[in-house]
Structure 1
Amino acid sequence: MQSTPGTAAGRTGGKWWPLVAVTLGNFLLLVDVTIVNTALPRIADGLHASFTSLQWVMDIYALALAALLMVAGSAADLFGRRRLYVAGLTLFALASLACGLAPDAGLLVAARAVQGVGAAAMFATNTPLLMASYQGRDRGVAFGVWGGTSGAAAAIGPVLGGVLTEYADWRAIFLVNLPLTAVAAWITLRWVRESHGDLARPRTNSVRRHPAALIDWPGAASFTACAGALTYGLMRGGEQGWTERGTLVSLVGAALALLVFLVVERRVRRPLLDLGLLRRPSFAVLMAAALLLQAAAFPYLTFVGLWVQNVLGLSPVQAGLAVTPMALTSLLVGALGGRHLQRMAPQLPVSVGLLLVGAGALLQYALLGDGSGWAALVPGLAVSGLGIGTA
């Protein structure tokens, strides 16, 4: 890996400022996954949006983020991680402004998609920037704080969204990103050093003139098509049925796009994803664990936000506070225990964390009933938060 200093200040002091810059941006992009949860009823009323539109407001952001993450990582290695991180922050801020000013659901969904593109650039550069900024014990501390805030962000989002929705307006949940992204960008430019990956070392003059040629564009296009078709098929299947024609076409299209992606990755010189990694048990298991963690820990928060407001009659702030046990326990474990967890063999905290997340989900199932109040959420959310912070 190549590294070049960004500024004199970045070389001589303020060793924790890069952590602040990266953690703040990471916190913002993860908060925006769930910050709209408690605002959904107000968004529906304000924009006369259908339930399908609300689903897309939620899902298009995560879809764009996931679909473009690998190509963003390649671009960061090539053009510079700090440069792409600041570009991501800028795009994220502009898209947040468009979300806050959106006059209808269609434009809101489109702006959320662009917001996801910026988030992909930010997320792809988080860990490489931390790896380039810290070594040894400092690296363990940095990743402990980063992991704790990452786990807490998804649960803090509904709280922040509730406060802004109730005491300001639902549009404020997007506009609040503007000053925070500006702060993150300023700290990044002031304190974070530039770094590149191996892709930044082209071997021929033609590639030097056209560095974007190093990016696996066919792989990026096929992976994005696969992710988009799969997400649309899953959403349509839940609404129209799993044997409905549009659902089947989307799912078959996703399978074909995945097949194209695999063929492309086996043939290109610099693949977006080295398929040989999947033959390494540690990598394959880690990817499966990450998928299980995200699938078990966070999706139901959307329905919790709708349930406590529309069924229990809680205000947006109260709805957000109802899920704080997850945020608090996750943050405490990551921030206070991160240094110790880094010393363990990774399979132990990941396995224990997944078991705790599963136990929390089981508690939710066991304790919630027809006459349940918000307090029935607390045990399951607290245990899940312990698992998120640990994993």
Structure 2
Amino acid sequence: MKENKQHPGWTLAVVCAAIFMLLLDLTVVAVALGELQRDFDADLADLQWVVDAYTLPLAGLLLTAATLGDRIGRRRIFAAGLALFTLGSLACALAWSALSLDVFRVVQGTGAALLFGTGLPLIGAAFPDPRRRAGAIGVFGATLTGATAVGPLVGGALVDGPGWRWIFLINVPIGLAALAVTRWRLTESRPENPRRADWTGTALLTGGLFALLLGLIRGHADGWGSPLIVGLFVVAGVLTVGFVVRQATAAQPMVDLSLFRSPTFTGAALSVFTVSAVLVGATTYLSLYFLNTLGYTPFEAGLRFLPWTLASFVAAPLAAQIAHRVSPRLTVGGSVLLAAIGAAMMTGLDGDSAWTVLIPGFIVAGIGMGVQGAVVSQVSLAAVEPARAGMATGVVNTLRQLGIAAGVAVWGVVYQARVADEVTTRLSGSALPDDSVRSLADAAGAGAGTRIVAAVPEALRDLVSAAARAAGAAGIGRMMLLGAIVLAVAGVAAVILVRSPKPAAPVPSEEVAPAAVSAV
């Protein structure tokens, strides 16, 4: 195996820059959703796909990208990811419709999978000395946390300044510079005995996820009992079963299902999926609430997330320092239960509430998210033998992206239904015709918030505005209540499943690098 010993600093810098970009694009779009909705006359399904069209290929292709890097060369795949991500970002900036933006986000997400799958192994090869490698991995982990924390702020500043297209356009010069550094300063590396890519498994997983998400996102508009939606769910189920069978029988599976025989790994994996689904998935609808219901500008909306992101940013390194002194069932299970408490504290909104009602919940949920992110990878790795460390880390990170994609889709169903019902209830019996009430309810459910008042006579605007504010608060409250229940169940399960690790043999350098991927 070749090792990059010539330019380790450049390797760390370019990998961190690339990973920062791709993770920033998970959260930076949240505060731009209001502008996208106006410019493209987008409905809620279009906005959901802005997020899920990115996370779906990122989740479905991440493990395959890592395998391709091992076989073809990590630098080559990393460079291809940079080129694809940069091209996709430029295309997103030039998008002319919601559909075109969603398609270009798929290109971005595919490039992001190539980058995420090869970035950390490149760092591992560049820093063969264990002490220096540990420091490099610490920088990498801080990059992940920082990207998540500043996403809403960066997005808000760009949307309020030069416009929403710049949240994508800013990636272009950074991507080109990173591509040049990759070409001239990174050395190729690959393991001696690389695994084969499981293309059948990749197709089954990605196809099943797409069918499931499309069914969830289109269910409200097309009817949950319609042939299309029922058919999509049947296809999703068949492909998912096919994926599991494939992984159980393949000689070199994409996902080693035997990992889940470890209760500790299963508990840690469950915590990753649920925290991502509930908390990260909820940011889409919290952003719409800030933008369209409370009327904040994108930058002001980004500032409202600071208590959450700062709490997570501060909690993560503190948790990492004490993790070895505390039982993992307390750190993993306790962090998810903290997230559950934080979500429950966000259920107290009503039509007259200021955004500050959310601050206590933001802080508690942020602490839980930060602690979980700091410890879950180490706990997952301690549950498996060193030879499967890379696979374990890849599965954990795949579940993280799957959680985000699923959360955006499921919470869209909950939010849309609750908001529409509340508007209908509050406006029934008013001077508005029934058809107008239904139209207003659908628009509010799609995230339009108090902007729906533009469609009614002046004399009714106060009534409709109050209904829209109450409905937005009710939608967030219902979403966070269900999220708190899901997190509470997952937290209890983690407390039961996660166990203290047994002493393990030293991990080879090729396996240490993937082991340290921190949480998003």
TM-score interval, normalised by the smaller of the two chains: 0.7 to 0.9
Q: Is the 8 A contact 2:7 2:126 kept in 1?
A: no
Superimposed CA distance per residue, residues 263-286 of structure 1 (whole angstroms, 9 cap, x where no aligned partner): 222333222122222223233222
Partner-residue secondary structure (3-state), 1:365: coil
Q: Distance in 2 between matches of 1:137 and 1:336?
A: 20
Q: Is the 8 A contact 1:296 1:358 kept in 2?
A: no
Q: Which moved more, 1:182-191 or 1:153-162?
A: 182-191
* Identity %, equivalent residues: 37
1:115 offset after TM fit, Å?
A: 0.5
Please tell me whether residue 8 in structure 1 is matched to residue 1 in structure 2. no
Q: Is the 8 A contact 1:9 1:190 kept in 2?
A: no
When normalised by structure 2's length, the TM-score is: 0.66
Q: Is the 8 A contact 1:158 1:305 kept in 2?
A: no
Partner-residue secondary structure (3-state), 1:300: helix
What residue in structure 1 maps to residue 150 of structure 2?
156
Q: Distance in 2 between matches of 1:264 and 1:347?
A: 32
CA RMSD in angstroms comes to 2.5
**Residue identity in the other structure for 1:173:** I
Match of 2:228 among 234, 239, 246: 246
Superimposed CA distance per residue, residues 104-146 of structure 1 (whole angstroms, 9 cap, x where no aligned partner): 2221111001101011111222333344445545444444443
What residue in structure 1 maps to residue 175 of structure 2?
181
Please tell me whether residue 384 in structure 1 is matched to residue 365 in structure 2. yes
Partner-residue secondary structure (3-state), 2:281: coil
Match of 2:350 among 369, 380, 385: 369
Q: Which moved more, 1:53-62 or 1:90-99?
A: 53-62
Partner-residue secondary structure (3-state), 1:4: coil
Match of 1:83 among 76, 85, 97: 76
Q: Distance in 2 between matches of 1:222 and 1:241?
A: 26
1:340 offset after TM fit, Å?
A: 4.6
1:241 offset after TM fit, Å?
A: 4.3
Q: Is the 8 A contact 1:152 1:330 kept in 2?
A: no
1:96 offset after TM fit, Å?
A: 0.2
Please tell me whether residue 307 in structure 1 is matched to residue 305 in structure 2. no
Task: Spell out the pairing of 1:1-391 with structure 2 (5 A cutoff).
Answer: 2-5=1-4, 8-10=6-8, 14=9, 17-134=10-127, 136-189=130-183, 192-197=186-191, 199-200=193-194, 214-335=196-317, 338-341=320-323, 346-366=328-348, 368-391=349-372
**Residue identity in the other structure for 1:280:** S
**Count of residue pairs brought into register by the alignment:** 371
Q: Is the 8 A contact 2:45 2:218 kept in 1?
A: no
Superimposed CA distance per residue, residues 59-104 of structure 1 (whole angstroms, 9 cap, x where no aligned partner): 1111111111221122122122232222212110100000001122
1:164 offset after TM fit, Å?
A: 0.5
**Residue identity in the other structure for 2:159:** T
Q: Which moved more, 1:57-66 or 1:89-98?
A: 57-66
1:47 offset after TM fit, Å?
A: 2.4
1:3 offset after TM fit, Å?
A: 4.0
**Residue identity in the other structure for 1:376:** V
Q: Distance in 1 between matches of 2:81 and 2:306?
A: 29
Partner-residue secondary structure (3-state), 1:103: coil
1:342 offset after TM fit, Å?
A: 6.4
**Residue identity in the other structure for 1:121:** L
1:303 offset after TM fit, Å?
A: 1.1
**Residue identity in the other structure for 2:214:** Y
1:242 offset after TM fit, Å?
A: 3.4
When normalised by structure 1's length, the TM-score is: 0.86
Structure 2 gaps of 5+ residues are 373-520
1:192 offset after TM fit, Å?
A: 4.8
Q: Distance in 2 between matches of 1:165 and 1:321?
A: 13
1:337 offset after TM fit, Å?
A: 5.2
Q: Which moved more, 1:224-233 or 1:272-281?
A: 272-281
Structure 1 gaps of 5+ residues are 202-213
Superimposed CA distance per residue, residues 368-387 of structure 1 (whole angstroms, 9 cap, x where no aligned partner): 22211122222222222222
Q: Distance in 1 between matches of 2:186 and 2:284?
A: 35
Superimposed CA distance per residue, residues 3-35 of structure 1 (whole angstroms, 9 cap, x where no aligned partner): 422x6333xxx4xx5443333222211211121
**Residue identity in the other structure for 1:26:** I
1:246 offset after TM fit, Å?
A: 2.0
